Amino acid sequence: MHKLEGITEKIRAGFDARTAARDRALSQARQLTRACSLAIRAVHRDETDVMDEHLSEAGKLAETLKNDLAKYPDLFFAGYTQDALKEYVEANVTCALIQNKPLLTPDELGVADATYLNGMAEVVGELRRRIMDILRHGYSQEAERLLTIMDDIYSVLVTMDYPDAITNGLRRQTDLARGIIEKTRGDITFSLRGEHLEQAIGRLSAQLNGSQPEVNERGERVSPSGQEE
């Protein structure tokens, strides 16, 4: 029985350590998700300094999460951990694309390939948000640039035709991205047509105003020299 007690004590110690690691990971995952959300909000507001601050915080949290769970790969690849890292990818990629900067690779971010692609898929929604903010002020070439990026992302995602067990549900995210892109394309087209219509009305109005004769207060036509006709 003494041997059994020793065995169970060792098992209990292992469970205690694993539980503590899990509790820390849950807390870090929540903090990481929040930092990423704040970074994305900052880039949409063009608050670059605030964005950089939150991305730096997110990077430290992601690295700590990875190091703390090095001994527990099952916890590292658990849903809550990978979801937080997916948000980390989304924040970094969104900020880079909006600011027209190079993307960081999965290795540079320290995430699995499937997590990177799922984060990339969610970037499509953030780019739509950016485009709609732009279109509220009228049509812009920047909206076209971001739509092209959305198309490029989808073109990559749709080629990842592997089982969900490998890609962690990427196919569903890809289908959602396609719907978002088509809706955004329609919004940009509508905005562009409205811009063209407004310009055409402006030109027509200018022509009509230029061809209308001047009249005095009695409603009589006045010649260019100012004499009544």
List, run by run, the mean pLDDT of 10-residue segments along the chain (229 residues). Answer: 80 91 94 97 96 96 93 91 96 96 95 96 96 85 93 96 91 94 89 56 61 52 51
Number of domains, the chain:
2
- Please identify, among 67, 93, 111, the residue that sits at the C-terminal boundary of a domain: 111
C-alpha to C-alpha distance for 74 and 76, rounded to whole angstroms: 5
Same domain, 3 and 106: yes
Same domain, 99 and 156: no
pLDDT of residue 197: 47
pLDDT of residue 137: 83
Same domain, 150 and 67: no
Residue appearing with tokens 């562009």:
192
Same domain, 35 and 140: no
Same domain, 2 and 100: yes
Amino acid symbol at 88: Y
C-alpha to C-alpha distance for 67 and 73, rounded to whole angstroms: 10
C-alpha to C-alpha distance for 64 and 138, rounded to whole angstroms: 43
Looking at the chain, list the stretches that DSSP marks H as alpha helix, in order from N- to C-terminal side.
2-44, 48-68, 73-76, 79-98, 106-109, 113-135, 141-157, 164-167, 170-211
Same domain, 137 and 120: yes
- Collapsing DSSP to helix, strand or coil, 168 comes out as coil
- Please identify, among 82, 111, 140, the residue that sits at the C-terminal boundary of a domain: 111
What is this structure's pTM? 0.80
Structure tokens at 217: 């207060």
pLDDT of residue 6: 79
Show Cβ contacts of residue 226 under 8 Å, excluding neighbours closer than 6 positions. Answer: none
Question: What range does the domain containing 128 cover?
Answer: 116-207
